[in-house]
Chains A and B, each alone.
Chain A
């Protein structure tokens, strides 16, 4: 079975009903995607499939044939949101962090607090009470906006 994993074609020999989570962790060797509950409640295993955040514990691998899958490893080791999560203490124990960061990828350039909350509503964190996660994302968006040349109609 073939899909695109973090920008590169990937061939795996897996049972069609194998969980994408297990294929990523055990066959592709990408352990940045975590299992928290195995039933789609905690969001620790969030990855992007064709740009949408999904719980990889709920996706049979046959469903992603020819799709593009992005995991936390696909963002590189030095993504600005990763740094913000450490600096702002959006990550404490860190186990929910990869899933949080993946879920946050779909946010627009200037999300409101309610938009951030809605985007992360399927991702549980037991350490932070979420406030520091909001701060991490807001600062990331502000820094991204500052780095991007503003178009005239933004002014």
Chain B
């Protein structure tokens, strides 16, 4: 029986379910002490003085002067400090680090900081500080708008979203010969390694080890580099292992969130429904530092015209700075924001045409041979019509659309797509590597890709098992330790299966050539151990121009259509989802049960984004930084999710697989808001809380 395509037993073992798996906070080292971060209490200004108002006996105190290398969290740009030197740009910005062996004594320590406050900017529309702009031009949008029969305009807004991984951020830094090792809840160990090397300078040896990680969703992509740096500084100064675990409030106040967005559309259509012009303006609130905003904006803009054919498209994107904690990676990475806007807008375009919105979508949906906004010619692995047809059929959409009219039920739909892997030339620059080691008992996978619940270990082992022709049980997967594994790139962008899995497949083929007809054990007995390491080569046909934003933005796309069915309380506007039909095509599932889990989980997160999850910002800080009043879906808020996985293999992926992790996040919010529209509520913003919906009703 092949491993790929079957829901084989997972490489995680039983530890996650019996409590034996060790997450960062479960680990202790001899002599370990606790670390704490002292943070800014103003959103903008400068530090006048810092006074330690406690007995410092037994404390380790670190400020920016203790940084031996550069005081920057090295990522895309080099603008964010590990510790404030003078200028404060956002609430909760780290200023000082303390460590002590007694957690209570540590938490009781009081630090008095005097500031000179400056005027803060919280409204992205008033920000004058541009972090990144993008211009995607195809055809002549102004001329096309002028000759369109109808032009439909609209503005759509999305709020912050907090990841709420149930395990908060945490790391332990341990001094070791010549340097420091950092263990932690980390999606991208090599990102943390890069940031640590830059901060500590060339003399200190550094390695990063991922511990079992209790959820990431993008929230542990870049921020762990900051915490890792803090713990490393305290560990090196105290010469003791230092553990920093954020509590929920600190995690919510200090770490990254999904970028809020304002998206404006002007769309020209002909009376028969053909879209002839799409003019889109995307504004993202990046927060106080650049972090990943340029690439979030990039993905957002590339998806901003939706899965539709249009010969005249102009997409302008801007990410701007505000005096709020930096926003960062979150499952979907800009696309959930812009696809929300375009899918709600499409519903309004259909209304303007007095046309059925499914028909409008079907008429304009991208098909093989069509070109996207960046001019990419789509291939056979394009499934917009297939997912739309199946979702309409499966959910009995047309009948319910009629029968729910006039009741307190409603139904809505959204069509969406998601580019898999890094954008444009990203994978070419990244040069990801993967390694397979032959051992006495089988084969070991050595990659930096992390298991964060999505099934990395299992799915990689399945690919290697079948590609190498070795039983699945003989494949083991190393815990990511940057000193031992190949840098397979970050665990982001729905690339871990499609890209890293592909390199592993090629490693397996090369290893098989060496093994000949021998099993790993036989070969090892005769010739000893050996390793195969290879680098990712994107498909040769990919062409991308970063300067003009023209070309093949992604090697392939996943496609989805979600149908949301709701019950609406006509008095309180409380919305209860009763069913969500999620039809998604992502090449081919490697492990159907894990893949289904990605769709169900992403869909639930999307429903929270749509209806519940409201970050309240006051004076530049999250005011509801608790799970009591920032609510994510519970069992009682989450409806039945009917998952349909359709096949359309991508020849460039391992066993036909595309990326999957982010795709399910794009659809639920517009499907829900389009259902509210079906009920008669003109909502153009999420989260669509009862309070927000009430504002949309004219009495």
- The residues of A that contact B212 with a CB separation of less than 8 Å are 94
Cβ-based interface call for A87 (8 A): yes
**CB closest chain-A residue, reference B606:** A129
The number of residues on chain B lying at the interface, defined by a beta carbon within 8 Å of a beta carbon of chain A, is 56
Distance in angstroms from B454 CB to nearest chain A CB is: 7
Given contacts A86-B10, A132-B600, contact A126 B166 (CB under 8 A): yes
**Is A131 within 8 A of B641, CB to CB?**
yes
**Is A121 within 8 A of B19, CB to CB?**
no
Given contacts A92-B454, A95-B215, contact A124 B18 (CB under 8 A): no
Given contacts A92-B453, A93-B452, contact A82 B9 (CB under 8 A): no
Q: How many A-B residue pairs have CB under 8 A?
A: 172
**CB closest chain-A residue, reference B582:** A129
Cβ-based interface call for B12 (8 A): yes
* Interfacial residues of chain A within 76-118, with CB under 8 A of chain B in the complex: 76-79, 81-83, 85-89, 91-98, 101, 116-118
**Is A94 within 8 A of B14, CB to CB?**
no
- Among B212, B593, B601, B636, find the residue whose CB has the most chain A CB atoms closer than 10 A: B601
**Is B9 within 8 A of A87, CB to CB?**
yes
Q: Mark B550-591, 1 if CB is under 8 A from A, else 0.
A: 000000000000000000000000000000000000000000
Partner of A32, one of B9, B20, B455: B20
**Is B601 within 8 A of A126, CB to CB?**
yes
**Is A130 within 8 A of B638, CB to CB?**
yes
Cβ-based interface call for B45 (8 A): no
- The residues of A that contact B633 with a CB separation of less than 8 Å are 129
Distance in angstroms from B604 CB to nearest chain A CB is: 3
**Is B635 within 8 A of A126, CB to CB?**
no
**Is B166 within 8 A of A38, CB to CB?**
no
**CB closest chain-A residue, reference B634:** A121
Distance in angstroms from B100 CB to nearest chain A CB is: 16
Given contacts A34-B214, A39-B627, A117-B636, contact A98 B601 (CB under 8 A): no
**Is B627 within 8 A of A130, CB to CB?**
no
Cβ-based interface call for A1 (8 A): no
Given contacts A38-B247, A89-B593, A92-B453, contact A78 B21 (CB under 8 A): no
- The residues of B that contact A131 with a CB separation of less than 8 Å are 600, 638, 640-641
**Is B215 within 8 A of A93, CB to CB?**
yes
* Bound form: Cα–Cα A116–B247 in Å: 29
* Bound form: Cα–Cα A128–B22 in Å: 20
Given contacts A86-B16, A121-B635, contact A39 B248 (CB under 8 A): yes
**CB closest chain-B residue, reference A74:** B19
Distance in angstroms from A104 CB to nearest chain B CB is: 11
- The residues of A that contact B182 with a CB separation of less than 8 Å are none
Cβ-based interface call for A125 (8 A): yes
* Interfacial residues of chain A within 119-139, with CB under 8 A of chain B in the complex: 120-132
Given contacts A39-B248, A89-B593, contact A101 B17 (CB under 8 A): yes
- Among A39, A94, A117, find the residue whose CB has the most chain B CB atoms closer than 10 A: A94
**CB closest chain-B residue, reference A84:** B17
**Is A128 within 8 A of B600, CB to CB?**
yes
Count class of interface residues, chain A: 35 or more
- The residues of A that contact B216 with a CB separation of less than 8 Å are 93
Partner of B165, one of A121, A126, A129, A132: A126
Cβ-based interface call for A75 (8 A): yes
**Is B603 within 8 A of A82, CB to CB?**
no
* Bound form: Cα–Cα A120–B214 in Å: 19
Distance in angstroms from B691 CB to nearest chain A CB is: 21
* Interfacial residues of chain A within 20-50, with CB under 8 A of chain B in the complex: 25, 30-39, 41-42, 44
Distance in angstroms from A151 CB to nearest chain B CB is: 30
Cβ-based interface call for A71 (8 A): yes
**Is B601 within 8 A of A120, CB to CB?**
no
Partner of A78, one of B9, B18, B168: B18
**Is A31 within 8 A of B638, CB to CB?**
no
* Bound form: Cα–Cα A125–B247 in Å: 18
Distance in angstroms from B622 CB to nearest chain A CB is: 14
**Is A82 within 8 A of B14, CB to CB?**
yes
* Bound form: Cα–Cα A84–B329 in Å: 32
* Bound form: Cα–Cα A129–B22 in Å: 24
**Is B167 within 8 A of A36, CB to CB?**
yes
**Is A41 within 8 A of B454, CB to CB?**
no
**Is B601 within 8 A of A91, CB to CB?**
no
**CB closest chain-A residue, reference B636:** A121
Partner of A86, one of B12, B248, B628: B12
Given contacts A83-B17, A95-B214, A126-B217, contact A36 B600 (CB under 8 A): no
**Is B14 within 8 A of A42, CB to CB?**
no
**Is A130 within 8 A of B20, CB to CB?**
no
Partner of B635, one of A33, A82, A94, A130: A130
- The residues of B that contact A36 with a CB separation of less than 8 Å are 166-168, 248, 627
**Is B635 within 8 A of A83, CB to CB?**
no
**CB closest chain-B residue, reference A22:** B103
Distance in angstroms from A85 CB to nearest chain B CB is: 4
**Is A77 within 8 A of B20, CB to CB?**
yes
**Is B627 within 8 A of A89, CB to CB?**
no
- Among A85, A127, A129, A131, find the residue whose CB has the most chain B CB atoms closer than 10 A: A129
Partner of A31, one of B26, B600, B627: B26
Cβ-based interface call for B632 (8 A): yes
Given contacts A82-B14, A129-B600, contact A41 B628 (CB under 8 A): yes
**Is B166 within 8 A of A93, CB to CB?**
yes
**Is B19 within 8 A of A86, CB to CB?**
no
**Is A120 within 8 A of B453, CB to CB?**
no
* Bound form: Cα–Cα A37–B10 in Å: 28
- The residues of A that contact B247 with a CB separation of less than 8 Å are 38
Partner of A42, one of B21, B627, B638: B627
Distance in angstroms from B547 CB to nearest chain A CB is: 39
- The residues of A that contact B23 with a CB separation of less than 8 Å are 34, 95
**Is A39 within 8 A of B626, CB to CB?**
yes
**Is B166 within 8 A of A130, CB to CB?**
no
Given contacts A41-B626, A86-B12, A89-B594, contact A32 B453 (CB under 8 A): no
Q: Mark B627-669, 1 if CB is under 8 A from A, else 0.
A: 1100011111010110000000000000000000000000000
Q: List 23 A-B contacts (CB under 8 A).
A: A36-B166, A36-B168, A37-B248, A77-B20, A78-B14, A79-B18, A86-B9, A86-B10, A89-B593, A91-B16, A93-B16, A93-B165, A93-B452, A94-B15, A97-B16, A120-B635, A122-B634, A124-B166, A124-B627, A124-B634, A126-B164, A127-B215, A131-B641
Using A30-B19, A98-B19, A129-B604 as known contacts, list a sample of 19 further A-B pairs with CB atoms less than 8 Å apart, ordered by residue number in A: A34-B23, A38-B247, A38-B248, A41-B627, A71-B19, A73-B18, A77-B14, A78-B14, A83-B17, A86-B16, A89-B7, A89-B10, A89-B596, A93-B215, A121-B634, A121-B635, A126-B166, A126-B601, A132-B596
Q: Which 8 A-B pairs have the closest CB atoms?
A: A32-B19, A94-B16, A95-B214, A93-B453, A129-B604, A92-B453, A82-B17, A129-B600
